[in-house]
Structure 1
Amino acid sequence: MYLGLDIGTSVIKAALFGTDGREIAEAARRAALAPAPPGWSEVEAEDVWQAACAVLSELLAGRDTSQLRGIGLTGVMVGAWLTGGDGAVLRRPILWNDARAQGLIDRKLREMPDLYPAVFSESGSVMQLGCTLPVLAWLAENEPETLARARHALPAKDYIRFRLTGEIATDESESAMAPGSARDRGFSAAQAERLGVGGLTGLLAPVRRGETLAGHVTRAAAKATGLPEGLPVAIGTGDTSACVLGAGCHAAGQAASVLGTTCLNGVLSDRPLFEPEQGLLFIVPGGLWMRTMVNVAGTTVLDWALATLCSELAQGPRPYEAMEALARSAPAHAGGLVFVPYLSASGVIAPRIEPGARAGFMGLAPQHGRPEMLRAVYEGIAHAIAHCFGDIALPLSEIRLSGGGARSAFWSQMIADATGTPVLVPEGSQFGAKGAALCLATAIGDFASVREASAATSRVLRTHLPDPAAAALFREAAGTYRIAADAALGPLAGMQPPGAHPA
């Protein structure tokens, strides 16, 4: 068996896979965010470690661990888990979705108006405030005494792997997103200088390929987790890259959509692509890159719709299925009603960076009821996915769809119709953990490459071919959706009503 461990923002998951890639078992534990000021996002490091230990212990209970080939790790990217020379965490870890560096970045933009284009030209990614380098810049200004004691600044999975093995390392996906260099697949001294932390690069961990070995489980970690002492541990990769590999994307030209809390849409390539000048460029193990456009709100739009439009269904059995049935009862394209799914307090980073972008309905008329509004919500995400792939402007032969949204055949078919592209839903559920496990399988030599591992272990559960009539309707509606989306990005986006106070 192979084991994958996925360190999420608030949920830690682990899954076991057979050597054929089939999922055998999974387990999960929550690790709540720590109380923090608005715009901050922190956790207690020990809470995350204990949750990881608990989830591994639960998964392995009663199993013959002599059959384990090893473990690979993935997790939420960037942020900073500061450790001292003895390995102890010096402060609460800062996560990827932390926004405390906004004021600092605003000042730097006044000094260097071309900061964002300069960062993008090397990293291929829009810099987010929770990336490691801006977080270090904030710490240098606000907590210099903590930084003076620090030995390493690690992302989440690399800290947990350190606890398992005692070894410090990171992978290419993390280092390029720091921000770093997409071409070199590593950190960049120039990026550190741009952000005023050139003197802190010694805190960044050595970079190694995700599909190589990091070390072995120590005696202390074995006692805490139930893992066998000496078990091989792979470097692993960031959550998006792991999910893509786990879903079976392994070759240039393949497309992937991860419809989870956020909605990531990307196309694999065998070279770094810097067009369009927006979105993110992920490093994927196996010598791959993924040009990615992100709609920040994914399945969160359904959570919102359930709580706001269907609160009575939320108390009943199978609430999401009941809500989907209501949406199905409405006609296609909801009688002209359009929903723009920019439902995030941080706005959007695609099709352009606009913190003030907000969601909304366009074309609401007296004849529209709850079914039409719900159908428009589902269709809004489908339109947004098509919009993202349209901006990437690369030919698509198929889209591998994963994430919680892929469980809905209704939504999956809608995405096929909106994009005019076959949508393949792979077998399984824990694709991040699977991608990490495939890094391990490659590291110990069971596969010649991680590309081979992904191809050999992928199976398709469902295929959704575009329906010609439905696809034609989506093409007709796309113009209206674009008008609505442009309005959500325009000068009125995010305006406060009279008497309101910004958060």
Structure 2
Amino acid sequence: MQSRTRIILGVDAGTTSVKTVAFDLDGRIASVSRSSVRVQRAEDGRAEADMNHIWDAAASTIAAVVDDIGDAEIVAIGVTGQGDGAWLVDADGRPVGPAALWLDGRAHERLDDWLDDGRAAAVHQATGSPLFSGALPILVDELMAADPTLRERVTTQLNCKDWLRFKLTGRRATDPSEASRTYLDTATGAYAEELFPALGQEHVREYLPEVLDPQQIAGRLEPRVAAALGLPEGLPVVVGVVDTAAAGIGLGVLDDGRGYAILGTTSLVGINHASRADVRSESSIVLATGRGTQVLESMAPMTGTPNLDWVRATLGLADEDWVVVEKQAVAVAPGSGGVIYLPYGAPSGERAPFFAPDASASWLGMSVTTTPGQLLRSVYEGLAFSLRESTDALGLEGPLLVCGGGSDSDLLCTILADVLARDIVRQDQPEVGARGVAMLAMAAVGLADDLHDASRRLTPSTTTFSPDAARTALYDDAYALFLATRDALRPHWGGLRRLRESAEQHPAPESSAH
């Protein structure tokens, strides 16, 4: 009798979609299901999501995958998801309101006060990461100032993947990577108890869940949930990690000194260190990995793929497939005819490796002979220059593993290899975040000797893009110009931002010609 195929489910709940991926024990993807979720925005800066809707989306994708794989034996579930924000539940396990997401900007003015009075510095000293308006310590103050009844109604803060795992198992818990973005002392791995009185938030300490090993079994699938999803009762559900850390695991970046990049809506460049003492920058984000004293130091520049979407639309190519669009950029010689693009197109400016909320995008070096293809290619090159600045700041060496939607582009990977003067390694199968938590689950249930063994078993084949010495030399000169012109413009970004805001408030005048 032929044995049933054994399957691990990886659930990945991002900002705009939730997916469930079924992996067999050789790392092949057996099934994928996705469901969109909506970010609710308002003029006051709020960015929220319905927590029950996110659970419904996760449940529907799990059920769809279970149905698709037939009689395969599902042996464990791993969960990951977006980080930061405030995901608050009451004593009965119900959301007290919508989740305030990492994108939430309501606490922007409050952040200025915390920067002035030292509270932001206290958070930075404890966690190792600079505070921003979408982080729990400042968001919880903002929310409770707007609704004082929250203080009594809230019992637990559960980040996105913690909320989903709670719905699966009934256990309230988190992991070191998520806790690093709240109140965890990333040097010791425990909550920084001195931080709560320093912030006047002693009551918040009661909301924080226990911190568990990421590859520990957090709980078992509850009977009523199992029945609804078509899964066996008592199925183990593993603790997991936040999505950025899960991507590193999925890429096989486990050891100290190894790094990777996520090329997505925003970018991320990260490197593992033996301890927090090895962190190189005051502006980087520091996450405890749960693997001893190891931390992940990362920079998350805003210079992501929306720049490419914008230039495609601006050049009138929005209806063209990306394969067709990229052919125009591939046909252009490296250096884009002398055009340099500063990729600071995010409305919120830049956050790494420097902080400049007024940063704006620019094309430089154009003339009346500049072609659309040169403009297009220059955007790819500008994204690569931005990533080089972060990799240099973090001291990354050797091959760089990449993932995210932007890594699907052979052109972007080729340019990155030339600009960074190193091999760029891309997995031949997607879903690295879900794969990362599947690896954690595989180790947790004893189907692998340890996480390294699980990584070897589940990591798919890769494609390597190697640098060309001549192109690298050209890009070295272009990169120097990129930095010099960018820094020359920086003092004027504030004025340009004010001019743009003023222009947006005035309608275009009607022609006065007669």
Alignment correspondent of 2:511: none
SS at match of 1:27: strand
Counterpart code for 1:365:
S
Residue 305 (str. 1) matches residue 307 (str. 2): no
Q: Name the SS for the 2:113 alignment partner.
A: helix
Question: Gapped runs of 5+ residues in structure 2?
Answer: 1-6, 506-514
Asked if 2 retains the 8 angstrom alpha-carbon contact of 1:241 and 1:285, the reply is no
Are 2:168 and 1:167 aligned? no
Give the structure 2 partner of residue 63 of structure 1. 69
2:269 partner SS:
strand
Contact 1:264 1:292 in 2 (8 A): yes
User: Secondary structure in 1 aligned to 2:464?
Assistant: strand
* 8 Å CA contact 1:249, 1:455 repeated in 2: no
- CA distance in 2 between counterparts of 1:329 and 1:64 reads 47
| Aligned residues of 1:70 and 1:231 also touching (Cα < 8 A) | yes
SS in structure 2 of the partner of residue 13 of structure 1: strand
- Matched letter for residue 300 of structure 1: P
1:315-464 to 2 correspondences below 5 Å: 315-316=319-320, 319-394=321-396, 396-464=397-465
Quote the residue 1:97 is aligned against.
Answer: 103
| 2:51 alignment counterpart | 45
Look at both structures and tell me which one has the larger radius of gyration over its CA atoms.
2
Does the 8 Å CA contact 2:10/2:77 hold for their aligned counterparts?
A: yes
1:276 maps to 281
Partners in 1 of 2:342 and 2:121 — Cα distance?
Answer: 27
Q: Is the 8 A contact 1:237 1:285 kept in 2?
A: no
CA distance change for structure 1 residues 124 and 488 in 2, over 3 Å: closer, same or farther? farther
Match of 2:114 in 1: 108
1:156 — aligned with what? 160
Could you say what secondary structure the match of 2:300 adopts? strand
Among all aligned residue pairs of Structure 1 and Structure 2, give the percentage whose two residues are the same amino acid: 29
Report the AA paired with residue 211 of structure 2. V
Deviations 1:421-465 (A, max 9, x none): 111111310011111111111111222322332234223321111
Equivalent residue letter for 1:282 = L
For the 8 Å contact 2:31–2:69, the answer to whether it is kept is: no
> How many aligned residue pairs are there?
495
1:231 pairs with 221, 227, 235, which one?
235
CA offset at residue 131 of structure 1?
1.1
Aligned partner of 2:123 in structure 1 is: 119
- CA contact 2:341–2:362 (8 Å) conserved in 1: yes
Specify the code of the residue in structure 1 equivalent to 2:239.
I
> Take 2:55 and 2:308, find their aligned partners in 1: how far apart are those partners?
31
Corresponding residue for residue 9 of structure 1 = 15
Q: Is 1:201 aligned to 2:205, yes or no?
A: yes
CA 1:354/1:189 → structure 2, altered by over 3 Å: closer, same or farther? farther
- The Cα of 1:491 is off from its aligned counterpart by 4.3
Equivalent residue number for residue 495 of structure 1: 497
User: Contact between 2:169 and 2:220, CA under 8 Å: does it hold in 1?
Assistant: yes
| Distance in 1 separating the partners of 2:45 and 2:146 | 16
Q: Offset of 1:309 from its aligned partner?
A: 1.9
- What letter matches 1:347 in structure 2? G
Matched-pair contact (CA < 8 Å) for 1:295–1:342: no
Name the SS of the counterpart of 1:15 in structure 2: strand
Structure 1 residues 323 and 187: alpha-carbon distance in aligned structure 2, compared to 1, 3 A threshold: farther
Moved more, 170-179 or 121-130: 121-130
Whether the 8 Å CA contact 1:137–1:195 is kept in 2: the answer is no
Show the counterpart of 2:297: 291
Distance 1:134 1:172 in 2: 19
1:157-184 CA deviation, whole Å, 9 max, x = no partner? 1111111111100000000111432112
SS of the residue 2:40 aligns to:
coil
Question: Unaligned stretches of 5+ in structure 1?
Answer: none
Sort the Cα spacing of 1:222 and 1:293 in 2 relative to 1 into closer, same or farther, 3 A. Answer: same
In 2, are the aligned partners of 1:260 and 1:405 still within 8 Å (CA)?
A: yes
Opposite residue 275 of structure 1, the aligned amino acid is R
Q: Distance in 1 between matches of 2:383 and 2:198?
A: 36
2:479 corresponds to which residue?
Answer: 478
Distance of 1:232 and 1:88 partners within structure 2? 23
CA–CA distance in structure 2, aligned partners of residues 305 and 79 of structure 1? 31
What is the rounded CA distance, in whole Å, between the counterparts of 1:337 and 1:187 in structure 2? 49
Matched AA of 1:368: T
Provide the aligned C-alpha RMSD in A: 1.8
Identify if the C-alpha distance between structure 1 residues 428 and 187 changes in structure 2 by more than 3 Å, giving closer, same or farther. farther
Is the contact between residue 296 and residue 344 of structure 1 (CA under 8 Å) also seen in structure 2? Answer: yes
Deviates more, 1:235-244 or 1:77-86: 77-86
CA distance in 2, matches of 1:179, 1:348: 25
Which stretch of the first structure deviates more once superposed, 326-335 or 150-159?
A: 326-335
| TM-score where L is the length of structure 1 | 0.94
Deviation at 1:401, TM superposition (A): 0.8
* Amino acid in the other structure paired with 1:426: Q
Distance across 1 between alignment mates of 2:417 and 2:137: 38
Match of 1:263 among 260, 267, 291: 267
Question: Does the C-alpha gap of structure 1 residues 236 and 326 become closer, same or farther in structure 2, counting only changes over 3 Å?
Answer: same
Contact 1:3 1:68 (8 Å CA) reproduced: yes
Distance in 2, Cα, partners of 1:275 & 1:49: 38
Aligned AA (1:124): G
Partners of 1:78 and 1:191 lie apart in 2 by: 18
For residue 382 of structure 1, give the secondary structure of its aligned residue in structure 2: helix
For 1:257-301, what per-residue CA distance to the aligned partner results, in whole angstroms no more than 9, with x for missing partners? 110111101122222233211121233343432221222131111
SS of residue matched to 1:268: strand
